Amino acid sequence: METVVITGATSGFGVNWLYQMDESKQCCFFVLGRDESKFKRLISDKPLKNDVHFIHCRLDSFSSIDSAVKEIQTKAFKVDILVNNAGVWSSDEIAFSQDDIEMTLAVNHLAPFVLTGKLLPLLLKAEKASIVNTASFRHKDASPSTHDIQLMERYSSEKAYCNSKLYSILFTQKLASLLHNTQISVNCFDPGIVDTEMLKKAFPKTLAFIYPLFRKVIARTPEKGAQTGVFLSQPNSKTGNYYKDCQPKKVSKLANSKALSDWLWGESEKLSEFSYPTFTANDRTTKP
């Protein structure tokens, strides 16, 4: 039986991702989230056929992530699938995590960076493991500053989001390279423009009057948005790729920059105070 750890499964298309995996797998879910009562209402209305553990976790807190990982370690001896799907579109005014880091960067990038790293010992125990990160076509609109990763000088919620989705791709590629001698695949995907509350929040306020039409004509259903994530949640021989509609797609020039990837990795380690283990070349069973 597979063990699945998933974030962002209590709202948006993450709910559909959870239920689509529930239909296709025999597994045990570990759902990380902030609001257990909300999740209980969700599965009360539509029960899951597989076992599920709700793990309280605030992704804007490194200590909360650490506590969640420790709880998973007491209940699971391996992790077969890790889904990093949770994300935020922050307010127009800059906000900060519990660790005093710009909120979008903290939740959309640093949380997956730390959670994945701390779960690596369990991922390495699986016969074949998959890590899936939610990115976006909006990575093409990113404009990161290597001297101001938190956008303290010129903050914009849109810029923060686009940058974070670029970072999702860079993280995916770098981690895939780090894990290339292991049995773990790492991929990311663009769910497209999906009809969720985040889309409504991100929609330009000056165009709010056309949102109902946009939502009806342009936006994908949450079911469609989740499909590629479900596809990548299967054992995969390919790694380090960006997908849309279950097919590998090209990324922006910045998303292919090794220099930017190395810079991001270094900044992530400094801000999170977490470092990934070193892996021995040609050793598929290396453990941290």
**pLDDT per position as a tens digit, 157-182:** 999 999 999 999 999 999 999 999 99
Strand stretches in the chain, DSSP E: 2-7, 27-33, 51-56, 81-84, 129-134, 184-189, 242-244, 247-248
Q: Is residue 217 part of a domain?
A: no
Q: How far is CA 274 from the centre of its chain?
A: 18
pLDDT surpassing 70 at residue 282: no
pLDDT surpassing 90 at residue 129: yes
pLDDT surpassing 80 at residue 21: yes
- Tell me the CATH number at 186: 3.40.50.720
User: What Å distances lie between residue 161 and 107, 123, 169, 216, 245, CA to CA?
Assistant: 10, 28, 13, 24, 22
Q: What percentage of the chain reaches a pLDDT higher than 70? A: 89
pLDDT surpassing 60 at residue 193: yes
Q: How far is CA 54 from the centre of its chain?
A: 17
Cβ-proximal residues to 192 (8 Å cutoff; 6+ apart), any chain: 137, 220, 224, 225, 244, 245
- Across the strands, what pairs with 285? none
Could you tell me the residue range of the domain that residue 104 belongs to? 2-193+223-272
pLDDT surpassing 60 at residue 285: no
Lowest mean pLDDT among 39-43, 131-135, 159-163, 192-196: 192-196
Three-state DSSP state, 212: helix
DSSP 8-state code for residue 286: -
Q: Is residue 173 part of a domain?
A: yes
d(CA 104, CA 91): 9
Average pLDDT of 23-28? 93
Q: How far is CA 101 from the centre of its chain?
A: 18
Which pLDDT belongs to residue 59? 98
Q: What percentage of the chain reaches a pLDDT higher than 90? A: 80
Residue 287's pLDDT band, with cuts at 50, 70 and 90, is: very low
pLDDT surpassing 70 at residue 144: yes
Which pLDDT belongs to residue 207? 63
**Cβ atoms of residues 36 and 11 within 8 Å:** no
Average pLDDT, the chain: 91
Q: Is residue 9 part of a domain?
A: yes
Q: Is residue 284 part of a domain?
A: no
Which pLDDT belongs to residue 147? 96
Which pLDDT belongs to residue 243? 97
Strand stretches in 37-116, DSSP E: 51-56, 81-84
Give the count of domains, the chain. 1
Which pLDDT belongs to residue 220? 73
Which one has a higher pLDDT value, 199 or 258? 258
Neighbours of 75 (CB within 10 A): 11
Which pLDDT belongs to residue 221? 84
Q: Is residue 45 part of a domain?
A: yes
H helix intervals, 142-205:
157-178, 197-202
Q: Is residue 283 part of a domain?
A: no
Three-state DSSP state, 176: helix
DSSP 8-state code for residue 33: E
Tell me the pLDDT tens digit for each residue of 209-243.
676 765 666 667 878 989 999 999 988 779 999 99
pLDDT surpassing 60 at residue 200: no
Residue 286's pLDDT band, with cuts at 50, 70 and 90, is: very low
Q: Is residue 200 part of a domain?
A: no
Which pLDDT belongs to residue 192? 82
